[in-house]
A = this chain, B = another copy of it.
Amino acid sequence: MKIIILAGGEGKRMWPVQTDKCLIPFLGKPLLYHNLKKIQAALNPSEVIIVANPNIKDQISNIKNELGITGTIVLQAEPKGMADAILSAKDLIEGEVLIVNSEDILDESVYEKVLAVKADAVTVGLKRTEYFPGGYLKIGGDKVKGIVEKPGEGNEPSDLVKLVVDYFKDGKKLVEYLEKVSSETDDVYEKALDKMIADGMDVKFTKYSGVWIPLKYPWHVLDITEHLLSKIEHTISPGANVSEKAIIEGKVVIEEGARVFEGVVIKGPCYIGKNVILGNSSMVRESDLEEGVVTGFNSDITRSYIGANSWFHTNYIGDSVIEGDFGMGSGAVLANLRLDDHTIRVGEIDTNRHKLGLMAGKGSRVGVNASIMPGVRVGSNSLVGPGVVLHGDVKDNTKILVKQEYQVSDHTPALTSYDQFREKIK
């Protein structure tokens, strides 16, 4: 059986995060590494086909090699949707195929569940009690009767949302259908499946109620972080330097070269990457700090994802997604909680989260004593000046400074010496 892994998905909605979704590192390894490893453990495939955009070929190759997985990387020139991605690999497709995407987090068990069903095609229906704006399965007995895209709340044909873990007995037939269906919208793949069903092919499903974390918006990085952290084994590298006066609670991974200074508190689960420096009196809770992050003195990083080589100095960072190469001046704060009872919106979208901080692209900077409001996005290589109270998004490569007006006057203090002052206030 050939396993086709779709790693070329567009990430427009992920802005300000610009890293290809499958390459975003978690716990020191790209997301694709985590997902491939899971497939490897479940299916031990002799070969995989990975469809990716040309820019990231080398990175994907490295991941494959690191895991010792044999396979081919097929390049998709432009991100033109899932059908196009599969067709990019059509010369390699024959016999049984399993189509999966590279970003969704799923339980390992899902692969076996799909393969346990015998049919011409098998897909996965995720049980949902709340409405989700995706494709729903229309079912009859153990068969799929059709796919309904975003039916709207109350009109769901079942409680099963279609995931992309799709088995086809005859890969060549899939290719044939994908080539003959045409669509002006981005749903060629779904239409091809519908057509198969209409033509009387035997399409079945398996119900799945395990973990499912999609990566569509930048705050989903927090969900993946939380999930992956929940799986870690407590491991402190012998090459890490952890002060005896640091306090570590719960499960924590601390990588080689990391330095944890006196008075630091780490409340697991946490991932502390290679060469990370946790400065005196810093606190890190339930967070992923990738390679080379430096917290300086007295920072508080809570439930956040901090990309490589970011540095902090006496800051609060809560529920935030920082892509990397980020810097933050002393006293700057990322608010993560509205002072009223509302959930946090990002642009037009209600995240349904009561806690969400900043999402920042690579290379951005925040000045001393700046305040960034919950759910704000700051683009790559942008700069939020000192003292700014930032309520809205900042584009890539943009500098925003506050213009203050001053009242300047002569000043003749009555007490110039601190001794006098100290005496007076006693």
Contact = CB atoms under 8 A, between A and B. Distances in A.
Interface of A: 245, 247, 262-263, 265, 280-281, 283, 292, 297-298, 300, 309-311, 313-314, 316, 325, 327, 329-331, 333, 335, 337, 339-341, 354-355, 362-363, 365, 367-371, 373, 381-383, 385-389, 397-421, 424-425
Contacts of A402: 389, 404-407
Given A406-B388, A409-B399, A329 B340 contact: no
Given A330-B335, A339-B365, 5 more contacts: A327-B339, A369-B371, A381-B411, A397-B411, A398-B411
A325 B418 contact: yes
B329 A339 contact: yes
A203 B260 CA distance: 59
Given A316-B330, A401-B406, A416 B363 contact: yes
Contacts of A382: 411
A293 to B, nearest CB: 9
A282 B386 CA distance: 23
B412 A406 contact: no
B331 A371 contact: yes
Contacts of A421: 327, 341
A329 B337 CA distance: 9
**Chain A interface mostly helix, strand, loop or mixed?**
loop
Contact of A386 (B283, B371, B386, B411): B371
Nearest to A330: B316
Contacts of A316: 297, 313-314, 330-331, 368
B413 A383 contact: yes
Given A331-B371, A386-B335, A418-B311, A265 B265 contact: no
Nearest to A247: B262
Contacts of A385: 389
Q: Which 3 A-B pairs have the closest CB atoms?
A: A399-B411, A387-B389, A309-B418
A304 to B, nearest CB: 14
Given A333-B329, A333-B369, A400 B408 contact: yes
A400 B406 contact: yes
Contacts of A327: 339, 418, 421
A340 B333 CA distance: 20
Given A265-B280, A316-B330, A371-B369, A325 B414 contact: no
Contact of A331 (B333, B339, B416): B333
Given A247-B262, A389-B387, A412 B331 contact: no
Nearest to A331: B333
A417 B281 contact: no
Contact of A340 (B300, B340, B414): B414
A208 B245 CA distance: 46
A327 B418 CA distance: 8
Contacts of A424: 341, 354
5 contacts: A329-B333, A339-B383, A363-B416, A388-B404, A403-B406
Nearest to A414: B341
A331 B329 contact: no
B337 A381 contact: no
A309 B417 CA distance: 8
Contacts of A330: 300, 316, 333, 335
A340 B425 CA distance: 11
Given A262-B247, A369-B369, A407-B403, A341 B412 contact: no
Contacts of A325: 416-418
A310 B418 contact: yes
Nearest to A380: B416
Nearest to A261: B265
Nearest to A336: B330
A367 B297 CA distance: 22
Contact of A381 (B313, B389, B416): B416
